[in-house]
């Protein structure tokens, strides 16, 4: 988990990832739901929820000879604006926020979710620097620079 303000100067929240670890054996798939919650750090009441698309239950890009079998999520990283960066072993890196404050981070709303499919397992956390984010996967580091 991570603890950080929801917005600059805003209330503290605890960001928690929930989900069953994905399988490393492609012969044992089990569709796996996963989600991320933002909880009020004082009351632990749910502030928002992000439900990931149902995965096939297998770590992305896995094969038995490479030995990459990470946990389902890396730890969340929270930017100064309250955006949560999370890496999922279904092969995706996400930047999420509840932009409209309705309690649900909507996968189809580009103001709430930015996603990149890197195709590999990942359980490391995203590193942030001014104008840059770096996300790990089993086989590569992915760097993103802002346009600003």
Coil vs helix vs strand at 94: strand
Residues 6+ apart with CB under 8 A from 108: none
What pLDDT is recorded for position 73?
87
What pLDDT is recorded for position 144?
87
Q: Which long-range contacts (CB under 8 A, 24 or more apart) does 124-132 make?
A: 124/70, 124/74, 124/87, 125/74, 125/75, 125/76, 125/77, 125/85, 125/87, 126/74, 126/77, 126/85, 126/86, 126/87, 126/93, 127/77, 128/77, 128/79, 128/85
pLDDT in single tens digits along all 148 residues of the chain: 999 999 888 899 999 998 877 777 666 666 677 899 999 999 999 999 999 887 766 777 776 566 677 888 889 999 999 999 999 888 889 999 999 999 999 999 999 999 998 888 888 899 999 999 999 988 889 898 887 6
Nearest to 67 by CA among 143, 21, 120, 124: 120
What pLDDT is recorded for position 133?
94
> Alpha helices, DSSP H only, in 43-137?
none
Sign of CA dihedral 117, 121, 122, 128: negative
What pLDDT is recorded for position 139?
82
**pTM reported for the whole predicted model:** 0.89
Q: What number of CA atoms fall less than 13 Å from residue 139's CA on the CB side?
A: 13
What pLDDT is recorded for position 37?
97
User: Could you tell me if 24 and 101 are in contact, meaning their C-beta atoms sit under 8 angstroms apart?
Assistant: no
């Amino acid at each position: 988990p991570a603890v950080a303000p929801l917005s600059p100067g805003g209330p503290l929240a605890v960001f928690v990832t929930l989900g069953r670890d994905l399988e490393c054996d492609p012969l044992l798939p089990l569709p796996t739901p996963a989600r991320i919650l933002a909880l009020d750090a004082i009351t632990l009441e749910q502030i928002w929820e992000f439900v990931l698309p149902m995965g096939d239950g297998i770590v992305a890009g896995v094969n038995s000879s490479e030995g990459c079998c990470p946990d389902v999520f890396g730890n969340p990283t929270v930017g100064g604006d309250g955006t949560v960066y999370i890496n999922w072993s279904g092969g995706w890196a996400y930047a999420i926020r509840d932009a409209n404050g309705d309690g649900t981070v909507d996968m189809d709303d580009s103001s709430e979710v930015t996603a990149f499919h890197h195709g590999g397992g990942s359980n490391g956390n995203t590193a942030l620097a001014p104008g840059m984010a770096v996300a790990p996967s089993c086989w590569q580091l992915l760097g993103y620079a802002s346009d600003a």
